[in-house]
């Protein structure tokens, strides 16, 4: 076989294995997430948790604002908090697969000897979380519109911007999850906290629940260095554009400029996340960490 | 034949019970010194949630006491998390890792093991919660006006007894669950933070929601403590502090008796059905 044919064949193989790994891992991830109980209880579980999280903030706001939800800040807070559910759900979902397979099911070593691509497998495990996260976000937003009259006009939604931003954001979160999965591979202790810890930390710095200008000046650069900050700003602009005008953090930037920044982050993360994961994986293999069970 | 050293002293009765408590509590306390990373994961990260909620209150111009409510509530979440993940789920984890049959086949009484878990977890968590209160108070300049120190101590101790009694009881219940245990513990976070008023005064929830949530000891414990340490606490209280203390005392007795009964039932059921070592992933 000549060189060019061999190359085509090998890239076909690569995509075939990638697709197969992704598809099977998606199915497996969904089963793990959902089949521990009957569908009704699973639906209740998937609805109650995000709604309770949103309701804490709603009650806090309501206590002080005496039930006046028709303010720009409430819309800012509500939408930011609702969409932030994707961050913990997707990012943690991808990295959690390492903890689950290594410590709980003790199958990670078998995954490594199987003819699959581990990054594709991890991404597939994250897809179930994306679905669950989407349901949570939709329910939270619907509850806000129906019961709290959050200022939202469907006719004013910039759908193109929303869909492009949402897709880019999910890709960014998956890539960040892959980096965390690599870090998780090398950790013996607290590995189950890594995703939650990172998403909790970013909750403060990404303008999810208050504008970045509320942070002390020396902390604001952290927010500007995180792609999720731009993602949330664009999501708000696409859904509740007029409300965002009340918050001047990014008023100097057009939608296109913010989208450009988000695309740049996506490309950079796409390049470095796989390299970081491979590097961590190499180290984990060298140190015999792939099948380490700590029971920590 | 294997030559094992002769057992020279056999403990039984109250002495064995006490030794079991100390034996099970000690790893949780020793772990505090050997594994310092808890300072980051159990103090710094809970502080991030506290900071987030405080900044929301600050953004909407809430009175200063509300910042204190969040700091105290945020610290008390450490106890609830400890109950969920290190009490309720503990026997389930022990089953998963293979320790449970060893516990049951040893002469150590299971109630002693549960009490040891509770005592060790309580002390370790108290240190974590205190760290969150100190850090949060310094960071946000929270001022406390302790009106009745003795009552505050009584309410706190009753809350802890009732809470860890609940943890001992649910530890047995969780043992009966299979894969559901992890999800149930996971589900009992945000909804409980909401109905128990961890970040706002309980009074602002509908009465019957608060009344039902009072079955969780931290609900009334937190409400009573806020009434006793903040200037505006009394006006924002759900019930009278004395009544809350009485309810907490009743809950304490009820949960500990419940733990004993449920543990006996679980052991009998497990032996009858042969599920004590069953490991369903």
Give the pLDDT confidence of B9-62 residue by residue, as tens digits. 777 778 888 888 898 888 888 887 777 777 777 778 778 889 989 999 998 889
Give the closest-approach CA distance of B72 to chain A in angstroms.
15
Residues B62, A64: C-beta atoms closer than 8 Å: yes
Confidence of residue A171 (pLDDT cuts 50, 70, 90): very high
**The two three-digit tokens of residue A171, written as one number:** 């890709």
Q: Do B56 and A209 touch (CB under 8 A)?
A: yes
Q: What is the ipTM of this complex?
A: 0.86
CA-to-CA distance for A51 and A72, rounded, in angstroms? Answer: 21
B55 vs A48, A104, A214: nearest CB: A214
Q: In the structure encoding, which two tokens stand for residue A181, read together?
A: 């999965």
CA distance B78 to A269: 35
pLDDT score recorded for residue A121? 92
Per the CB < 8 Å rule, is A200 touching B45? yes
Contacts of B69 in chain A (CB under 8 A): none
Burial class (CB in 10 A: 0-12, 13-18, 19+), B279: exposed
Residues of chain B with pLDDT under 50: none
Token readout for A139 is 């329910």
Give the N- to C-terminal CA distance of chain B in Å, as an integer: 38
Question: Quick one: three-class SS letters along chain A?
Answer: CCHHHHHHHHHHHHHHHHHHHHHHHHHHHHHHHHCCCCHHHHHHHHHHHHHHHHHHHHHHHHHHHCCCCCCHHHHHHHHHHHHHHHHHHHHHHHHHHHHHHHHHCCCHHHHHHCCCCHHHHHHHHHHHHHHHHHHHHHHHHHHHHHHCCCCCCHHHCCHHHHHHHHHHHHHHHHHHHHHHHHHHHHCCCCHHHHHHHHHHHHHHHCCCCCCHHHCCHHHHHHHHCCHHHHHHHHHHHHHHHHHHCCCHHHCCCCHHHHHHHHHHHHHHHHHHHHHHHHHHHHHHHHCCCCCCCCCC
User: Distance between CA atoms of A140 and A82, rounded to whole angstroms?
Assistant: 6
pLDDT for A1: 47
pLDDT, tens digit (0-9, with 9 covering 90-100), for A11-54: 778 888 889 999 999 999 888 888 777 778 888 888 888 899 89
Rounded to the nearest 10°, the torsion over CA A93, A97, A103, A109 is -170
Q: Which residues of A touch B80 (CB under 8 A)?
A: none
The interface residues of chain A toward chain B in range 11-70, judged by CB-CB distance below 8 A, are 36-37, 45, 48-50, 52-53, 55-57, 59-65
Residue with tokens 């979380």: A129
Q: Indicate the Cα dihedral angle A186, A187, A192, A195, nearest 10°.
A: -60
- Judge: B199–A60 Cβ closer than 8 Å, yes or no: yes
DSSP tag of B202 = G
d(CA A139, CA A14): 38
Binding-site residues on chain B for chain A (CB distance < 8 A): 35, 37, 41, 45, 48-49, 51-53, 55-62, 66, 97, 178-180, 183, 186-187, 189-191, 193-194, 198-201, 204-205, 281
A63–B201 C-beta distance less than 8 A: yes
pLDDT reading at A161 higher than 90 = yes
Q: What pLDDT is stored for residue B1 in this prediction?
A: 56
pLDDT at A129 over 70: yes
- Based on its alpha-carbon atoms, the radius of gyration of chain B, rounded to whole angstroms, reads 20
Instruction: Tell me if A64 and B97 make a contact (CB, 8 A cut-off).
Output: no
Segments making up each domain of chain B, as ranges? 37-273
Whole-prediction pTM value?
0.86
Residue A265, min C-alpha distance to chain B (Å): 25
Two tokens, residue B148? 């009745």
Residue B42 pLDDT: 75
Please give the structure tokens belonging to residue A279.
Answer: 């590097």
Q: Which of B78, B182, B187, B202 to mutate to test the interface with A (most CBs of A within 10 A)?
A: B187
Residues from chain A that touch B52, judged by Cβ atoms under 8 A, are 203-204, 209
pLDDT for the residue numbered B276: 62
Residue A63 and residue A57: Cα distance in Å, rounded?
Answer: 10
pLDDT, averaged across chain A = 88
């Amino acid at each position: 076989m000549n060189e060019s044919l061999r190359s085509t064949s090998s890239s076909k193989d690569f995509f075939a294995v990638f697709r197969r790994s992704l598809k099977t891992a998606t199915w497996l991830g969904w089963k793990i997430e959902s089949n521990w109980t009957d569908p009704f209880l699973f639906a209740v579980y998937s609805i109650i948790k995000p709604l309770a999280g949103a309701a804490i903030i709603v009650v806090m706001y309501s206590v002080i604002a005496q039930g006046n939800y028709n303010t720009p800040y409430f819309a800012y807070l509500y939408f930011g908090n609702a969409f932030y559910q994707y961050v913990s759900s997707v990012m943690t979902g991808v990295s959690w697969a390492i903890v689950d397979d290594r410590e709980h099911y003790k199958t990670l070593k078998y995954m490594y000897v199987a003819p699959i691509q581990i990054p594709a497998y991890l991404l597939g495990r994250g897809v179930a979380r994306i679905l669950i996260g989407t349901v949570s976000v939709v329910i939270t937003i619907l509850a806000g519109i129906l019961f709290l009259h959050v200022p939202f006009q469907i006719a004013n939604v910039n759908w193109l911007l929303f869909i492009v931003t949402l897709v880019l954001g999910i890709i960014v979160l998956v890539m960040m999850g892959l980096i965390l999965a690599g870090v998780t591979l090398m950790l013996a202790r607290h590995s189950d906290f890594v995703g939650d810890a990172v998403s909790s930390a970013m909750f403060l710095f990404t303008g999810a629940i208050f504008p970045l200008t509320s942070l002390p000046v020396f902390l604001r650069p952290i927010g500007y260095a995180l792609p999720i900050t731009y993602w949330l700003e664009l999501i708000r602009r696409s859904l509740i554009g007029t409300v965002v005008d009340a918050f001047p953090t990014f008023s100097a930037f057009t939608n296109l400029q913010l989208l450009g920044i988000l695309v740049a982050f996506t490309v950079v993360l796409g390049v470095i996340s796989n390299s970081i994961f491979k590097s961590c994986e190499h180290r984990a293999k060298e140190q015999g960490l792939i099948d380490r069970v700590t029971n920590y | 034949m294997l030559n094992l050293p002769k057992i020279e002293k056999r403990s039984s009765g109250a002495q064995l019970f006490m030794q079991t408590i100390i034996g099970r509590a000690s790893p949780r306390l020793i772990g505090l010194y050997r594994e310092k990373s808890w300072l980051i994961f159990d103090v710094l990260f809970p502080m991030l949630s506290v900071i987030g909620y405080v900044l929301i209150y600050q953004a909407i111009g809430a009175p200063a006491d509300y910042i204190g409510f969040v700091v105290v509530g945020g610290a008390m979440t450490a106890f609830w998390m400890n109950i969920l993940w290190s009490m309720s789920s503990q026997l389930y984890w022990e089953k998963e890792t293979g320790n449970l049959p060893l516990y049951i086949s040893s002469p150590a009484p299971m109630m002693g093991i549960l009490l040891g878990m509770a005592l060790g977890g309580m002390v370790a968590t108290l240190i974590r919660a205190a760290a969150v209160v100190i850090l949060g108070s310094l960071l946000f300049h929270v001022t406390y006006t302790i009106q009745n120190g003795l009552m505050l101590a009584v309410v706190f101790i009753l809350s802890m007894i009732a809470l860890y009694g609940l943890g001992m009881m649910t530890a047995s219940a969780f043992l009966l669950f299979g894969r559901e245990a992890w999800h149930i513990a996971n589900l009992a976070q945000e909804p409980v933070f909401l109905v128990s008023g961890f970040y706002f005064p309980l009074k602002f929830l509908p009465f019957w929601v608060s009344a039902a949530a009072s079955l969780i000891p931290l609900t009334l414990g937190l409400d009573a403590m806020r009434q006793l340490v903040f200037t505006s606490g009394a006006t924002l209280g759900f019930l009278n502090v004395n009544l809350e203390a009485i309810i907490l005392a009743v809950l304490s007795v009820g949960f500990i008796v419940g733990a004993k009964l449920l543990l006996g039932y679980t052991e009998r059921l497990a032996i009858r059905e042969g599920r004590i070592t069953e490991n369903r992933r």
